[in-house]
């Protein structure tokens, strides 16, 4: 895998900032989760959740943390979803 946690955090936060700026927060959360599921390969999502589990999500925005925690079953690759 070519990306480290710092790169993934930066990308997750940048994309999250776009969705967080939307007026309907519930829809924004759903669309952000869908974006990660469609656009990020399973290794990237696995690495992001490994970071979340190991560090509590250090460096991730509050919006991103909330979506990753609340919608894990929709985002995490099947092997990682517990």
pTM over 0.75: yes
Asked if residue 78 has pLDDT above 90, the reply is no
pLDDT in tens, 17-71: 999 999 999 999 999 999 999 999 999 999 999 999 999 999 999 999 999 999 9
Contact between 32 and 22 under an 8 Å Cβ cutoff? The reply is: no
Asked if residue 80 has pLDDT above 50, the reply is no
Cα distance between residue 16 and residue 35, in whole Å: 10
9 CB-near residues (< 8 Å, 6+ apart): 48, 51, 59, 60
Asked if residue 81 has pLDDT above 80, the reply is no
pLDDT category at 1 given cuts 50, 70, 90 is very low
């Amino acid at each position: 895998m070519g990306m480290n946690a710092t790169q993934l955090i930066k990308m997750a936060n940048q994309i999250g900032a776009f969705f967080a700026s939307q007026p309907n927060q519930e829809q924004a959360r759903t669309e952000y989760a869908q974006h990660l599921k469609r656009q990020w390969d399973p290794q990237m999502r696995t690495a992001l959740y490994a970071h979340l589990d190991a560090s509590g999500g250090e460096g991730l925005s509050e919006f991103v943390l909330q979506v990753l925690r609340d919608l894990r079953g929709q985002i995490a690759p099947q092997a990682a979803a517990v």
